Amino acid sequence: MQEYNTIIGKLLSGIDRKKFKRIVDKYKGDFAVKKLSCWEQFVAVFLGQITGASTLREIVDLIKFHSNQQYHLGIKKDIARSTLAKANGTRDWRIYRDIFFDLVSKFQKTKYYQTTELIKIIDSTPINLKIAQHKWIETTMKVKGLKTHVVYDLTNETPVYFDITGARTNDITKAKEIEIEKGVTYIFDKGYTDYNYWYDINEAGAIFVTRLKTNAKIENIGELESSEKGISSQKFMFTNKHPRGGKVNKYAYKELRKVIVDREKDEPLVLVTNDFYRSDKEIADLYKSRWQIELFFKWIKGNLKIKKFLGRSENAIKTQICIAMICFVLLQMAEELKTVFSEISIKNLLKIIGNSLFNCLRIREYGRKHHKNPNQLQFAWTFT
């Protein structure tokens, strides 16, 4: 019988420790550090995310309670609350953002990552904070705090890019910094209306599906065609070559397609796309799937503790958001857990393992040793 490490050990094994160290060295995260390394800080906050700890005291007590596991997790000794608080406030949060990028790159090379018909949703979510406790925050009419900008891979149900900015950073400004991949379908809402951005997506060989603003200056081409009940489409082109401010609309007088979806109580939903091959219903369903990123935001805020933060500084809050995103990807990468819980979604997996992190996952062989049947090799949870 072969015994595997603890569940928390399996989750953390998805991180390349050598790459982790290189990223830490890049930002001088462990420079002149005597008490708590970046790895120990990461494991501590990670444990807090998985177990739902809401305070630093809960995290340090958890680590102290499992003192016999500290060596295996790379923790040298018990962690003081004040030491962890100082690390969260001073260690560069970009260390953990870059570790997320490395993890995503690694995940995309696994057998679980599907590469056929990639569909990605671009959106942002506000992280609202109280001005009285966070004097440094930016404010707008709708957001008081930070914005987390995310590219969500709908095909594989995981985020593949994110960044954190102040509330005043426009969504489209951050979107233009994201590399456009050929063959990918991008879905986003009206907040990303920029005709030149759409043009760049088209020129890169990618597809976009978004909403058309009511004040857009367009000229319809041909007749309105109805394909299904309540759904119709029509070709059109933009007619404003110079929208405003001396800018040039690169998409002016180039053919596009709009899909109109009737709604019972609201005005019709007018979608725009450069896809001339999918059916009207498929385009409508694609935009409808944008709701999945909203569900992701709701779940990660509720389950991975990015509503209540462990610190008040900008760096501490960004660090906690980054580690929450890392946590989600590590759950996606946990092959043994996926094998055992093949029918369980990532959204429910966290709830199941939250109280079992220090238990063991064993491989149990059934049958005689001299007659090994691969169909008799089964996985089983054993709590020891």
Is the pLDDT reported for residue 362 higher than 60?
A: no
Distance from C-alpha of 23 to C-alpha of 44, rounded to nearest angstrom = 18
Secondary structure of 351-375 as H, E, C letters: HHHCCCCCCEEEEEECCCCCCCCHH
Distance from C-alpha of 107 to C-alpha of 128, rounded to nearest angstrom = 30
Render pLDDT for 272-328 as a digit per residue (tens, 0 to 9).
Answer: 999 999 999 999 999 999 999 999 998 888 777 666 788 899 999 999 999 999 988
* pLDDT bracket for residue 258 (50, 70, 90): very high
Query: Which residue has better confidence, 357 or 249?
Result: 249
User: What proportions of the chain, in percent to the nearest 5, are helix, strand and coil?
Assistant: 40, 25, 40
Render pLDDT for 43-100 as a digit per residue (tens, 0 to 9).
Answer: 999 988 888 788 899 899 988 888 888 888 888 888 999 999 999 999 999 999 999 9
Distance from C-alpha of 181 to C-alpha of 202, rounded to nearest angstrom = 10
Contacts of 311 (CB under 8 A, 6+ apart): 85, 88, 89, 317, 319, 320
* Cβ–Cβ under 8 Å, residues 255 and 199: no
Residue 151: strand pairing partners: 122, 161
For residue 267, what are the domain limits?
Answer: 199-277
| Percent of the chain surpassing pLDDT 70 | 85
* pLDDT bracket for residue 365 (50, 70, 90): very low
Distance from C-alpha of 44 to C-alpha of 67, rounded to nearest angstrom = 13
In a domain, 194, yes or no: no
In a domain, 308, yes or no: no
Burial of 271 (0-12, 13-18, 19+ CB in 10 A): buried
Contacts of 303 (CB under 8 A, 6+ apart): 52, 347, 350, 351
Distance from C-alpha of 119 to C-alpha of 218, rounded to nearest angstrom = 27
To the nearest whole number, what is the mean pLDDT of the chain? 84
Burial of 319 (0-12, 13-18, 19+ CB in 10 A): buried
In a domain, 360, yes or no: no
What is the per-residue pLDDT for 335? 59
What is the per-residue pLDDT for 299? 83
In a domain, 266, yes or no: yes
Rg (CA), the chain: 24
Distance from C-alpha of 324 to C-alpha of 100, rounded to nearest angstrom = 10
Backbone angles phi, psi at 330, to 5 degrees: -65, -35
In a domain, 36, yes or no: no
Q: Considering its fold, how many domains does the chain have in total?
A: 1
* Cβ–Cβ under 8 Å, residues 60 and 44: yes
In a domain, 223, yes or no: yes
In a domain, 253, yes or no: yes
Distance from C-alpha of 316 to C-alpha of 89, rounded to nearest angstrom = 5
In a domain, 245, yes or no: yes
